[in-house]
């Protein structure tokens, strides 16, 4: 039987996973109509921009330097800021309560224990080396965007076709996945079964950034040494392999506030999650409501201020799709680039004359 605390977290994970799947299906329908030369009678779902982290980082730099949210992928920045703000309250809780990749990683983790009954641990020195990878990846992107890119380059990138239609490129990465990409995903999945939480623990740059921000979090796991018997059950169940018995407050960048350590603890009031160094205790239901409050208020404010839906028209999406289709077709047949340009102009003219319905 699933414990109440575990049930609430799983319920929230499933809720957001279903929302993400729904957004993905709707966006797939949108792009399919565009590719067929038909203007959709519904709007593109802005939530798909949650999967455009590079665009969000570039938009963040633009916002910090200009005070403006650029209109190309505004919801990417809005969602990025909401997620980062949750880390200031609830540690890296987004990873274990909301993130669809975290949800899938936990599922693969269950397979880990079914296949390897006692689990598998790797040497501490190897764990430290592997854990550094996600921070190296995060630093690479942050350094190149915030220190290497001048503001003029940021503005050029924002308006570039690559960024404007990054959502379509992201979708087609999966719908037209290459053998190499499929192989990499398969390898990562297998590694996540063999080594628990492999992607989240060692490679996810988003998690690395949230981990750094979480050092400033007002919420954290608190252990009461007077009630703790140091049985070690909390450490054995912790998916992040955090050493809990030696500390009174857990401020690790790996803590995802999953509450598993609290859930398994046999002693009353020995361990719990609280805000402001133990002043306010937070149970699992309260934590779930805080997450829902963050996303509801943040998205509502973005919609009210007109910073949720991008300003790329359906006609622009159609033009892009037409150009890409002709480019792919002509490349496969080795057609002269000048002839290809003529064909693109002809197709756009036909569209403007009502050839597409």
Three-state secondary structure of 62-79: HHHHHCCCCCCCHHHHHH
Does one domain contain both 59 and 189?
A: yes
- Over residues 35-53, the mean pLDDT reads 93
On whether residue 343 sits in a domain, the answer given is yes
Helix (H, G, I), strand (E, B) or coil at 172: helix
CATH number at residue 263: 3.30.70.20
132-173 pLDDT, tens digit per residue, is: 999 999 999 999 999 999 999 999 999 999 999 999 999 999
247-294 pLDDT, tens digit per residue, is: 889 889 999 999 999 999 998 889 999 998 777 888 999 999 999 999
Does one domain contain both 225 and 324?
A: no
What is the CA angle 208-56-66, rounded to 5?
A: 120
Residue whose C-alpha is closest to residue 144's, from 58, 51, 56: 58
Report d(CA 115, CA 190) in Å as an integer: 12
Does one domain contain both 31 and 82?
A: yes
On whether residue 168 sits in a domain, the answer given is yes
Does one domain contain both 239 and 205?
A: no
Lowest mean pLDDT among 29-33, 112-116, 236-240, 278-282: 112-116
Cβ contact 193:112 at 8 Å: yes
Does one domain contain both 94 and 180?
A: yes
The reported pLDDT for the residue numbered 268 is 87
Domain that holds residue 339: 314-352
Give the number of residues written for the chain: 357
Tokens 């169940």 correspond to: 237
**Model confidence at 37, in pLDDT bands (50, 70, 90)?**
confident
The reported pLDDT for the residue numbered 3 is 46
On whether residue 309 sits in a domain, the answer given is no
Does one domain contain both 182 and 263?
A: no
On whether residue 320 sits in a domain, the answer given is yes
On whether residue 123 sits in a domain, the answer given is yes
- Over residues 5-22, the mean pLDDT reads 92
**Model confidence at 341, in pLDDT bands (50, 70, 90)?**
low
Does one domain contain both 256 and 347?
A: no
Does one domain contain both 129 and 42?
A: yes
The reported pLDDT for the residue numbered 123 is 86
The reported pLDDT for the residue numbered 322 is 80
The answer on pLDDT for 348 being more than 60 is: no
84-134 pLDDT, tens digit per residue, is: 999 999 999 999 999 999 999 988 888 877 777 666 778 888 989 999 999
Q: At what angle do helices 205-213 and 74-90 cross, to 10 degrees?
A: 50
The reported pLDDT for the residue numbered 356 is 46
Does one domain contain both 126 and 173?
A: yes
Largest CA distance in the chain: 80
On whether residue 321 sits in a domain, the answer given is yes
Does one domain contain both 337 and 228?
A: no
Does one domain contain both 82 and 154?
A: yes
Does one domain contain both 78 and 161?
A: yes
On whether residue 126 sits in a domain, the answer given is yes
Tokens 């996540």 correspond to: 192
Count: domains in the chain: 3
The answer on pLDDT for 337 being more than 70 is: no
């Amino acid at each position: 039987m699933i414990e109440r605390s575990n049930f609430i977290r799983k319920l929230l994970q499933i809720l957001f996973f279903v929302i993400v799947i729904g957004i993905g299906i709707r966006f797939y329908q949108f792009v399919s109509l565009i590719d067929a030369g038909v203007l959709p009678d519904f709007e593109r779902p802005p939530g798909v921009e949650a999967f455009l982290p590079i665009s969000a980082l570039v938009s963040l730099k633009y916002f910090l330097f200009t005070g403006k949210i650029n209109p190309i992928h505004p919801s990417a920045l809005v969602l990025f800021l909401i997620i980062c703000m949750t880390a200031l309250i609830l540690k890296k809780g987004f990873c274990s309560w909301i993130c669809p990749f975290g949800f899938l990683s936990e599922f693969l983790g269950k397979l880990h224990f079914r296949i390897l009954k006692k689990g598998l641990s790797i040497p501490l020195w190897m764990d430290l080396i592997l854990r550094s990878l996600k921070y190296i990846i995060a630093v690479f992107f942050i350094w190149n965007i915030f220190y290497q890119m001048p503001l003029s380059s940021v503005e050029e990138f924002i308006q570039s076709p690559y960024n404007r239609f990054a959502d379509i490129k992201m979708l087609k990465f999966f719908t037209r996945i290459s053998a190499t990409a499929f192989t990499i995903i398969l390898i990562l999945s297998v590694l996540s079964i063999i080594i628990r939480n492999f992607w989240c623990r060692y490679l996810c740059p988003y998690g690395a950034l949230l981990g750094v921000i979480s050092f400033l979090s007002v919420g954290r796991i608190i252990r009461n040494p007077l009630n703790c018997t140091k049985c070690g059950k909390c450490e054995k169940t912790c998916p992040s392999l955090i050493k809990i018995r030696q500390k009174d407050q857990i401020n690790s960048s790996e803590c995802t506030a999953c509450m598993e350590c609290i859930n398994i603890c046999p002693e009353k009031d020995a361990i719990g999650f609280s805000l402001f160094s133990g002043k306010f205790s937070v149970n699992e239901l309260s934590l779930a409501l805080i997450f829902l409050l963050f996303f509801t208020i943040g998205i509502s404010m973005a919609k009210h201020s007109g910073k949720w839906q991008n300003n790329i028209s359906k006609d622009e999406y159609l033009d892009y799709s037409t150009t890409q289709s002709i480019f792919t077709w002509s490349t496969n047949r080795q057609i002269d680039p000048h002839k290809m340009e003529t064909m693109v102009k002809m197709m756009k003219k036909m569209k403007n004359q009502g050839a597409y319905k």
